[in-house]
Amino acid sequence: MKNIIVTGASGNLGQAVIQQFLLEGWQVTGTVRSQKTEADNSDDHSFKKVAVDLNNETATGEFVTTIIAEQGKLDAAVLTVGGFAMGSIAETTAKDIFIQYQLNFDTAYAIARPVFIQMMKQGSGRIFLVGSQAGMNMEKSKGVVAYGLAKSLIFRLAELMNDEAYGTDVKTIVVVPSTIDTPQNRRSMPHADFTKWVKPETIAGHIFLNCISDDPSLLIED
Ligand SMILES: NC(=O)c1ccc[n+]([C@@H]2O[C@H](COP(=O)([O-])OP(=O)(O)OC[C@H]3O[C@@H](n4cnc5c(N)ncnc54)[C@H](OP(=O)(O)O)[C@@H]3O)[C@@H](O)[C@H]2O)c1
């Protein structure tokens, strides 16, 4: 059975990705911040919820080691943890940037690194990082300075990983969602046209298709 780690199991995108891979018959391990955190799919025998502090590099490395010891290999990882903050340069302190860095990059790097090391040993694997339009294009970072800067590192990391893995079947793919149709976004932008927003399930479907492809697109813009 193929297996996958999904971080942010309680989140909108995390839930959709977990659902997609369970439907496809994969073994899914979802990370949450606390074991008390609700994550649906708990009844599915192919789903395991694990509490991991992704800002703790040692704990995160031990989590990956345990999964590999239990399952013998790791086929894919989808790292959905992240969050948003507004603010122009005048409104953004260095500490604000550090907070966004910790939330959007540190939580990804701490797990991407041991996952990448394992996949390089195997010679295959798929790692999905979640960027954003602001992170891809600084024009779109105006007014979201800390968020855009933190997400921009996701793209640079993917470039470095794909460079190191060149010639192998280890691929790192950046997912770039536009506005996702989530309850939180509907609450904060009640007058927006929700039909223009991308559904988490649509992104999850694209992630799955790229995950099983021999020649995945390294950028998924949804
Ligand atoms: N929503 C959008 O419109 C949009 C647009 C572009 C990009 N994105 C990106 O897409 C990804 C998923 O978005 P989403 O809307 O699904 O987000 P979401 O529903 O807010 O889910 C975020 C997940 O991250 C977890 N999390 C937050 N801080 C954490 C931390 N310090 N350590 C570990 N876990 C933490 C949350 O856990 P808890 O449940 O415990 O809080 C939750 O499971 C994010 O990276 C986001 O930046 C989103």
Determine which residue's CA is closest to atom 17 belonging to ligand 1.
Answer: 11
Q: Indicate if the pLDDT at residue 199 is higher than 70.
A: yes
What confidence score (pLDDT) does residue 44 get? 85
Write out the residue range of the structural domain in which residue 201 sits: 3-221
* Residue-wise pLDDT tens digits, 79-120: 999 999 999 999 999 999 999 999 999 999 999 999 999 999
Q: Indicate if the pLDDT at residue 169 is higher than 70.
A: yes
Q: Indicate if the pLDDT at residue 202 is higher than 80.
A: yes
3-24: buried (b, 16+ CB within 10 Å) or exposed (e) per residue? bbbbbbbbbbbbbbbbbbbbee
Please give the single-letter amino acid code of residue 114.
P
User: And the tokens for 177?
Assistant: 């969602």
d(CA 181, CA 6): 20
What confidence score (pLDDT) does residue 39 get? 64
Entry pTM: 0.97
Give the CATH number for residue 167: 3.40.50.720
Domain count, the chain: 1
Pocket residues for ligand 1 (CB within 6 Å)? 8, 10-14, 33, 37, 54-55, 80-83, 103, 107, 130, 132, 177, 179-180, 182, 185
What integer is the mean pLDDT of 2-25?
97
Q: Indicate if the pLDDT at residue 150 is higher than 80.
A: yes
Of residues 35 and 169, the one with the higher pLDDT is 169
Ligand 1: which of 80, 198, 207, 222 to mutate, judged by most atoms within 8 Å of the beta carbon?
80
Q: Indicate if the pLDDT at residue 137 is higher than 80.
A: yes
**CA-closest candidate to residue 108, choices 14, 211, 215:** 14
d(CA 172, CA 217): 9
* Residue-wise pLDDT tens digits, 18-42: 999 999 999 999 999 988 776 667 6
